Structure 1
Amino acid sequence: MERPLLVYTTFPDAATALSIGEALVRARLVACVNVLPDMQSVYSWKGTVERATEVVAILKSREGLAEALGVALKERHPYETPIILHLPVAGADPDTAAWIREETSDRT
């Protein structure tokens, strides 16, 4: 059985994260997006140490959609190089896994 997949990414603001998240849900690439606002980031970018306020987004999908989800996320993302980290799920409640499969499957 195909396992769930969590994808970690960041956005410049909640409005952008929610808009892109909704598009990914409507495209059935993710079942849900959790947006966590007001994260403080310190990072290196093109040789300079930067600070920014960002939001974290955790996307709930499944392993078989990892590539398509990455492509769709990059197409919509405002960052030049968005952070897209796949967090493998070692286990999941069967009802949660079934919900993710149902919400990310074709409805034909």
Structure 2
Amino acid sequence: MKNLVPDHAPYVLVGFAHPKPERAAELRELLLSFVEPTRAEEGSLEYHFHEDKDRPGTFVFYEVWRSKEDLDRHLALPHMRAFWDERMDYLERDLDIRWLSMHSPYPRPVAG
């Protein structure tokens, strides 16, 4: 049977952040500050930041990257390296990151 995930499938992840209660507001602002710059990066197809309605202070991010190289370039940026190094100052437990296989991508709009 043929593989259902195309060879050119994007790199997709969903992550969950559970901050220390006293650092939740600070982490919310920090993660919000990443949205616009990340969306502007080459290879960033989608980047969304959410908060769980049933568990305020539980943050969820959803990212779609064109390639592993684009994601690696994003993670190597100084602000992302600093966040990775300092994340446990904000979190009760480490980030829960889940890799997804996208089977239903939206078509990209044609520039014109």
Q: Please tell me the TM-score bracket, short chain as reference.
A: 0.5 to 0.7
| Structure 1 segments unaligned to the other structure (5+ residues) | 41-51, 103-108
Structure 2 matches for 1:21-40, cutoff 5 A? 21-38=35-52, 40=55
RMSD: 3.5
Query: Is 1:5–2:11 an aligned residue pair?
Result: yes
Say which one has the larger Rg: 2
Give unpaired runs (5+ residues) of structure 2.
1-6, 20-26
Aligned residues of 1:7 and 1:84 also touching (Cα < 8 A): no
**Counterparts of 2:13 and 2:32, CA distance in 1:** 15
Question: Relative to structure 1, is the Cα distance of residues 85 and 62 closer, same or farther in structure 2, using a 3 angstrom cutoff?
Answer: farther
* Partner residue, 1:68: 73
Distance in 2, matches of 1:54 and 1:60, equals 20
Counterpart CA distance in 2 for 1:27 and 1:6 is: 15
For these two proteins, the number of residue pairs brought into alignment is 86
Q: Distance in 2 between matches of 1:31 and 1:66?
A: 11
Q: What is the TM-score when the length of structure 2 is the normalising length?
A: 0.52
Q: TM-score, normalised by structure 1?
A: 0.54
Q: Structure 1 segments of 4 or more deviating over 4 A?
A: none
